[in-house]
Amino acid sequence: MHPEMNAYPCSIVRGGTSKGIFFMKHDLPSEPYMRDKVILAAFGSPDVRQIDGLGGADVLTSKLAVISPCASSDADVDYTFGQVSFEQSFIDYNGNCGNISSAVGPFAIDQGMVPAVEPVTTVRIRQTNSNTILVAEVPVKNGKACVNGDFHIDGVPGTGARLVMDWSGTVGAFTGKLLPTGNPKDKICVNGTDYQVSLVDAGNPLVFISAEDLGMEGTKSLEEIEKDQGLMDTIQAIRSKAAVLFGLVDNPEKAALDSPYNPFFAIVSPSADYVAGDGKTVHAEDTDLTARLSFMLKMHKTYPITGTVCTGAAARIPGTVVWDMLSEEARANGTLRIGHPGGIVPVEAEAAMENNQIRITRLGVYRTARRIMDGLVFIPKAVLSEGE
């Protein structure tokens, strides 16, 4: 080993349309401050290019997964998600990433943490950020998670083995309620204007708003949205007030700094033709609604899986902003097709009425994942001793 650097085992893993650094918990310092110091240095944060670390200088690739055996009998593995900032010395643990979550099952099988059962191994994952259970169905062959397959997801080149993730156990993950305010719609006032929103907690807490209410076309490109500073300011102002209603912060002014990851902010509109990021046309008849999503104070290049499952849940609640966008056929269909900037993502969304309350019974999504690299990340000892 190098006398001036410490080495930490890690893996680079793609899950869905995101990529993250996976650490085994026992390979990191147990003390939270030093643990986060190691992680930030491993990613090369804070630095907008993350040039001195493994981070990809993008919110979709600056993601962390910490894995360990589950201490209780209700799951197979524990998984902690972190969104690593490249602008500040900050890791946001107040959320989850569905794409990274989809890689946890295959990773655990390949690590020997879960016995490999052919043809499909079920992995129960305890998501420690919200203390909820995700269930992954992972195709297995020759004792390892399958990589090859014919399943394609928009936003990822080629095809891979199809993973099935059931998120129904994450309803109310962060607030304890599917509808944290008890209402399918609420009003949030910004600069004297009332905006109709739906606040829903499934997978992650989301704010839903119609594109029309924001005065924009639902098919607007991400670049057009981000260049419209007035629009972005309005989005963040609404999101900040929603963060208080979700109980994530006690003051809207704290939302950008203390809770930049959650809540997500989804702009929805009726199905329409538009051109996706790869230049292909998404046709209205192939989708049930159109959506654009903001997180980490930026627009998402595709559509996050936690946002997907929450949108599926919102589609089953009469009176939400999402419900209002749907045709009668889409409201009754067991699968919702979401048109996003990268293409189309389906979600199995089913609900039942119990004691005059909506109960979400199924939130199923399909992903692919693969391990890209195993190795050691080297961190200068001088960096770890700074501030001591």
Res. 88: pLDDT tops 80: yes
Q: What 3-state DSSP class applies to 361?
A: strand
CA distances from 61 to 22, 232, 254, 371 (A): 12, 22, 25, 14
The two tokens of residue 133 are 């259970």
Percent of the chain with pLDDT over 70: 99
Q: Which of 105, 80, 84, 89 shows the shortest CA–CA distance to 23?
A: 80
Greater model confidence, 189 or 355: 189
Give the separation between CA 234 and CA 265, rounded to whole angstroms.
11
pLDDT digits (tens, 9 = 90+) for 37-52: 999 999 999 999 999 9
Q: Which two tokens stand for residue 101?
A: 């979550």
Which tokens belong to 46?
């804070």
pLDDT of residue 217: 95
Q: 282: part of which helix (H) or strand (E)?
A: strand 281-282
For residues 238-267, give the mean pLDDT.
94
> Residue 1's pLDDT is what?
77
Mean pLDDT of 235-258: 95
Contact 117, 27 (CB under 8 A): no
Instruction: Name the strand (E) or helix (H) holding 12.
Output: strand 5-15
pTM value > 0.85:
no
**CA–CA gap between residue 21 and residue 374 (Å, rounded):** 10
Q: Is the pLDDT of residue 233 over 80?
A: yes
Structure tokens at 41: 């240095």
Backbone angles phi and psi of 98, in degrees to 5: -65, -35
Residue type, position 314, single letter: A
In the prediction, which pLDDT does 361 show? 93
What pLDDT was estimated at residue 387?
A: 64
Tally of CA atoms within 13 A in the half-sphere of 211 that contains its CB? 18
- The pLDDT of residue 68 is 97
Identify the residue whose tokens are 């399943």.
151
Report residue 98 as tokens. 């569905």
Mean pLDDT of all residues belonging to the chain: 95
The percentage of residues in the chain with a pLDDT greater than 90, rounded to a whole number, is 87
Q: Where are the alpha helices (DSSP H) in the chain?
A: 32-43, 98-101, 104-110, 222-227, 229-245, 255-258, 305-314, 321-325, 328-332, 381-385
The span from the CA of 114 to the CA of 148, in Å, is 20
pLDDT at 120: 98
**pLDDT digits over 263-307, tens only?**
999 999 999 999 998 888 999 999 999 999 998 888 999 899 999
Per-residue confidence band for 104, with pLDDT thresholds at 50, 70 and 90: very high
Positive or negative, the CA dihedral 153, 157, 159, 162 is negative
Looking at residue 388, its pLDDT comes to 59
Report the alpha-carbon distance of residue 146 to residue 139 in Å, rounded.
Answer: 6
Q: Is 202 helix (H, G, I), strand (E, B) or coil?
A: strand
Is the bond leading into 139 cis (omega within 30 degrees of zero)? Answer: no
